[in-house]
Amino acid sequence: MARAATVLRPGFGWLKAAVFLAALVPFGMIAAGAWSGDLGANPVETLIHHFGDWALRLLLATLAVTPLRRLTGWNQAVRLRRMLGLFAFFYASLHLATYFVLDRSLLLEEILDDLTERPYIMVGFAAFVLLVPLAATSTNAMIRRLGGRRWRALHRVVYVAAAGGVIHFWWLVKADVREPLIYAAVLVLLLALRLPSVVPFLRALPGRIRRRPAPG
């Protein structure tokens, strides 16, 4: 039923397919690097950082969909949101799996030690755990089962998870916080665009620009 209600504009299927393929590019590139043995002196670290970077980027891309939709009035964009979110989860899972299997060799004692002693790992792991129920309830069937209101409430957890991801990165860095700072700034911006006082302004912005009289 929900499917039938949404009418795709012509060409949207192609856009979705293109975004799907684009989101797979980081995976393809690193897989090619691993295959040719071109991951540098510390290949495990290269993999972990790569997957972590892309998890965070795609999470922020997911959070950018709603502000973009409000700003542009392009409501179809919301149809990309689930896919972006699931790709963020995909990369976060690879990030975690690489850490567990390749970095820690599945040594439970070491993993528990990290999870209890190292704040950056605690907050990163918590962020991942928060993403799990979101990924699990991403299907149409689950949306119907939960009901829109409860589903939306649950999925607000993504804000906390994104903040956790940024803090995880920030705390990992030894001295130069420039890069985590960029992620933090983007996150703060995306959250600020959701403030009730900002949303109407965002919605009105395109119209206001159009209505502005052309300079004489």
- Contact flag: residue 27 with another protein (CB under 8 A): no
Region near another protein per CB under 8 A, out of 30-38, 78-86, 181-189, 205-213: 30-38
| Closest alpha carbon to 167 in 97, 119, 216 | 119
Q: What DSSP designation does 212 have?
A: S
Token pair for residue 132? Answer: 């799990």
Give me the least distance between CB of 171 and another protein, in Å please. Answer: 8
| CB 54 within 8 Å of CB 84 | no
| CB 90 within 8 Å of CB 30 | no
- Contact flag: residue 112 with another protein (CB under 8 A): no
- Contact flag: residue 118 with another protein (CB under 8 A): yes
- Contact flag: residue 171 with another protein (CB under 8 A): yes
Give me the least distance between CB of 40 and another protein, in Å please. Answer: 6
Please give the Cα distance from 92 to 71 (Å, whole number): 29
Exposure class string for 93-104: b at 16+ Cβ within 10 A, else e = bbbbebbeeebb
The angle formed by the CA atoms of residues 29, 65 and 178, to the nearest 5 degrees, is 60
Give me the least distance between CB of 163 and another protein, in Å please. Answer: 19
Nearest to another protein of 113, 192 (CB atom) = 113
Collapsing DSSP to helix, strand or coil, 39 comes out as coil
- Contact flag: residue 139 with another protein (CB under 8 A): no
Region near another protein per CB under 8 A, out of 11-19, 63-71, 115-123, 200-208: 115-123
Q: Which residues bind another protein (CB under 8 A)?
A: 34, 36-45, 47, 102-103, 105, 110, 113-114, 117-120, 171-172, 174-178
